Homo-oligomer: A and B are copies of this chain.
Amino acid sequence: MTTLYGYFRSSAAYRVRIALNLKGLDYDQVPVNLVKGEQQGADQRVRNPQGLVPSLMLDDSSVVNQSLAICEYLDEVHPEPALLPVNPLARAQVRALAQLIACEIHPLNNLRVLKYLVGELGADETAKLAWYRHWITEGFTALEATLSSGSSTGNFCHGDTPTLADICLVPQVYNAERFECDLSAYPTLQRIAAHCRSLPAFEKAAPEAQPDAS
């Protein structure tokens, strides 16, 4: 059985849960508690020397790390329903939307970075929140501009079926809400995220629906 090593609140694990659910795949979940630092333990480092989640372990015990690599792997091995359009330019545009989140917002705002800010740099709670919100504002403003003017934007980030872009958007919106970011300037993101969240594959992937939710 495919096994996901993740954490209910990890945005990157949340992406993989959505992809697995969209593909209709069965999987086991093994929680790796990020707050307790279990991702840095020997068990998780065997799967991912970087000590991060998620890791997906396949039936033959091969491991795939990095959430976007996992999602594209699932899309290649289980092509239906497709997580990327067919046309190369459209594929690139969907990947670029996903990467705007996965390479420009999320890496700056995850737990290990916030910990470094507070620990090594001595940032107080206000400075930490300002940092978090700054990168959300930078990224979401660009994403809103792209999606609100994009001719390919539909019920989802690209057209009327969920893609890799939506898989990244929903966990990032969830995370921003948790940090009480004002999202009123991003009506298109909010509309798309709300639509996604009404679907069973997204609903079942939500942090609060996970066995390790606390």
Which residues of A line the B interface, CB within 8 A? 48-52, 58, 62, 64-66, 68-70, 72-73, 76-77, 88-89, 91-93, 95-96, 99-100, 102-104, 106-108, 113, 116-117, 120-121, 123, 127, 130-131, 134, 138-139, 141-142, 145-146
Contacts and interface: CB of A to CB of B under 8 A. Distances in A.
Contacts of A116: 131, 134
Contacts of A127: 120-121
Contacts of A62: 89
Given A66-B96, A89-B64, A142 B50 contact: yes
21 contacts: A49-B145, A49-B146, A50-B104, A50-B139, A58-B89, A64-B96, A65-B96, A66-B95, A66-B96, A66-B100, A69-B93, A69-B95, A69-B96, A76-B91, A77-B88, A107-B107, A108-B113, A120-B127, A120-B134, A121-B123, A121-B127
